[in-house]
């Protein structure tokens, strides 16, 4: 079953584990406070892997620049579910993504759209 989550948080200057209840197939994350020449928007597909993503960067002329990142990105899968079996029994950790601290500064306003697809298809080489 497909799931969608939207949300917002105020960054504290450190890395953040964004707990969604699933590892998204697609994530779009926006730093509303991004200054000129900083990454304002990240698009990440789970299939691409950790730290591989698309950056939309602000330029000093007010334009957005498309920057594909083959490595060194800011988003990675977070999957740390575990069960504490002693009393009280409870689920610990969670699922979602980790957002690197380098993407956001203290007090930055961060918005996101996370989608878990019903089907995530890799069509391979169609040539």
What domain count does the chain have? 1
- Asked if residue 68 is part of any domain, the answer here is yes
Alpha carbon distance 86, 67 (integer Å) = 48
pTM of structure: 0.86
- Asked if residue 124 is part of any domain, the answer here is no
| pLDDT at residue 127 is higher than 90 | no
- Asked if residue 19 is part of any domain, the answer here is yes
Alpha carbon distance 120, 107 (integer Å) = 34
Q: Is the distance from CB of 44 to CB of 97 less than 8 angstroms?
A: yes
pLDDT tens for 46-55 read: 999 999 999 9
pLDDT tens for 88-119 read: 888 777 999 999 999 999 999 999 999 999 98
- Asked if residue 121 is part of any domain, the answer here is no
Q: Which tops the pLDDT comparison, 105 or 63?
A: 105
pLDDT tens for 7-47 read: 999 999 999 999 999 999 999 999 999 998 899 999 999 99
- Asked if residue 125 is part of any domain, the answer here is no
Alpha carbon distance 60, 63 (integer Å) = 7
- Asked if residue 33 is part of any domain, the answer here is yes
Q: Which tops the pLDDT comparison, 56 or 64?
A: 56
Looking at residue 58, its pLDDT comes to 85
The enclosing H or E element of 75 equals strand 75-79
CA dist list (Å): 102 to 10, 84, 85: 15, 32, 36
């Amino acid at each position: 079953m497909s799931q969608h989550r939207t949300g917002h948080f105020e960054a504290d200057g450190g890395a953040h584990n964004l707990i969604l209840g699933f590892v998204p197939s697609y994530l779009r994350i926006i730093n509303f406070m991004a200054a000129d020449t900083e990454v304002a928007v990240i698009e990440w597909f789970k299939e691409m892997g950790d730290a591989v993503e698309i950056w939309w960067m602000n330029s000093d002329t007010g334009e957005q620049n498309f920057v594909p990142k083959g490595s060194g990105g800011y988003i990675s899968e977070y999957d740390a579910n575990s069960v504490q079996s002693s009393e009280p029994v409870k689920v610990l950790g969670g699922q979602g993504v980790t957002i690197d601290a380098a993407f956001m500064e203290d007090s930055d306003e961060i918005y996101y759209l996370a989608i878990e697809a019903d089907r995530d298809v890799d069509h391979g080489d169609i040539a």
